[in-house]
Amino acid sequence: MTGWEERASRARERYEDGAARLPDDRDERQRQLTRMGNAAWAAGLSYLMLDRATEAATWLARAADRYRESWADAPPGSWGRPIGSMKSRLMAGDWRAAREDARWASEANAAEAESPIGRYAAALAALVLGDDVRAGELATTLNGRDDFPQPVAATLDALAAGNSERYDQTIRALLADFERRSDFLEDVPVADTVLVLQILAAERGIAAPLESPLLPG
């Protein structure tokens, strides 16, 4: 099994290779910036798993910056960019920047998106901004959909409601869902959504005590 040091090293190499080959064509450039964001994300998560917080924060900030930079020329509905940026900022511990990215998602009308990923971006943004009522309304629109992971929808709903008992149940179900997966972004086996929702839950005093090989020790 590949170790976290090696994963971090490979991710840094992918990022640096992408930076050295940024194309001029706008569409190709936004794609390359997204790939660089994903590589920086992988490096940041790897450093989190190594308990190297400073390096993790540096690389997660780079991920967020590249996702944001890619947005201007991204195709409509590229809601993964603001989601990835908000998640990166939260895991880096940068609440100020996370709120800026949440406002970006809100001002881009994520809440009006027809796609569930857009509604997810809007719900996450509302939670970051502390608007739990709005987050709950948006989470409700994700419940029962077969094109959106229901463990995530249920956890968003419980978190927005501030229901500690229900949150404990749903976040554990979400973690179990991650533990059953074999595919992860950039081949980095980390329960990133669990990490992010736990950060938001801690702000509300309802974080659950969790242990998993997919979470930092």
How many angstroms separate the CA atoms of 168 and 186, rounded?
28
In one-letter notation, the amino acid at residue 66 is R
How many angstroms separate the CA atoms of 195 and 182, rounded?
18
185 domain residue, yes or no: yes
215 domain residue, yes or no: no
Q: Which two tokens stand for residue 81?
A: 């960019």
CATH number at residue 24: 1.25.40
> Smallest Cα–Cα separation from 191: which of 211, 164, 163?
211
Q: Is the CB of residue 162 less than 8 Å from the CB of residue 204? A: yes
Confidence category of residue 37, pLDDT binned at 50, 70, 90: very high
35 domain residue, yes or no: yes
Question: For helices 116-128 and 95-107, what crossing angle results, to 10°?
Answer: 140
> pTM for this one?
0.96
Confidence category of residue 1, pLDDT binned at 50, 70, 90: very low
Quickly tell me which residue has 């709120």 as its tokens.
99
Give the range of the structural domain holding residue 17, as residue numbers without chain letter: 4-203
Counting the structural domains of the chain, the total is: 1
Quickly tell me which residue has 């660089």 as its tokens.
36
167 domain residue, yes or no: yes
Q: Does the pLDDT of residue 189 top 70, yes or no?
A: yes
